[in-house]
Amino acid sequence: MEKQHRFFPNALRLHRQTLGLTQRQVATLLDLHDSVPISQWEKGTKLPNAMNLIKLSLIYHTIPNELYDELFQDFRETLRLKEFEQFQKA
């Protein structure tokens, strides 16, 4: 079976460029050895872990759901549907 890759739309590049930071500078602030993860996160091929997501939101002076708005909206909708189903069963 072929592994399916998911794309994670985000506003990381926009926030970084608005602040005039390079990927290398952000990587250094996150104590990463290189900027490869920053590139992967900005392209949406990978997600930062929870710690790095929080750090990114602090670096970019925003909140995590603004960095990954579409993902947060998907999570919110999925969880609300599950909550609704749970209350229907009760």
pLDDT tens string 2-52 = 556 789 999 999 999 999 999 999 999 999 999 999 999 999 999 999 999
**CATH number of 46's domain:** 1.10.260.40
Domain membership of residue 4 (yes or no) is no
Domain membership of residue 1 (yes or no) is no
Could you tell me the sign of the dihedral formed by the alpha carbons of 13, 28, 68, 54, in that order? Answer: negative
Alpha carbon of 27 to those of 17, 36, 84: distances in Å?
14, 8, 41
How many folded domains does the chain comprise?
A: 1
The predicted pLDDT at position 1 comes to 47
Domain membership of residue 2 (yes or no) is no
State the residue range of the domain holding 69. 12-89
pLDDT tens string 43-81 = 999 999 999 999 999 999 999 999 999 999 999 999 999
Domain membership of residue 30 (yes or no) is yes
Contact 8, 75 (CB under 8 A): no
Q: How far apart are CA 65 and CA 2, in angstroms?
A: 31
Domain membership of residue 77 (yes or no) is yes
Domain membership of residue 57 (yes or no) is yes
- Hey, what amino acid is at 39? S
